[in-house]
Amino acid sequence: MCFLHQREVAVSIYESTPALIDVKEPFPYGEFVLVLEGRVSLTHVDGIKPTFTVGEYFLVPKGWMGSWGMSMHYREMIVVETKAWHQTES
């Protein structure tokens, strides 16, 4: 993860090879995401499965649970509240 800015909000770049990430615990903070490369499908625990591609953005709300599916190389810009981000790292 590469941080571009870190004050009241943290802005970073996340990059991944193809992967499926299960989020089994409620997401700890709200996260704004802008897709820079590739495609991601978010499958919510209730079965809703939107897909986002380059140039599209979405918000993962605090408490969200489900899975992130990245079928190809994937890059995103993330914006989160810095205080909330650091609370999950300790």
Q: What is the CATH number of the domain that holds 48?
A: 2.60.120.10
Helix, strand or coil for residue 69? strand
Strands 74-81 and 39-44: unpaired
Asked if residue 22 lies in contact with residue 67, where contact means CB atoms within 8 angstroms, the answer is: yes
The H or E element containing residue 45 is: none
Q: What is the pLDDT along the chain (90 residues), one digit of tens a residue?
A: 555 555 678 888 999 999 999 999 998 889 999 999 999 999 999 988 999 999 999 999 999 999 999 999 999 999 988 777 667 765
Tens of pLDDT along 37-57?
Answer: 999 999 999 988 999 999 999
Kindly tell me the burial class for residue 7, based on how many C-beta atoms sit within 10 Å of its own C-beta (0-12, 13-18, 19 or more): exposed
Number of domains in the chain: 1
Strands 66-70 and 57-60: unpaired
Q: Which domain holds residue 78?
A: 2-89
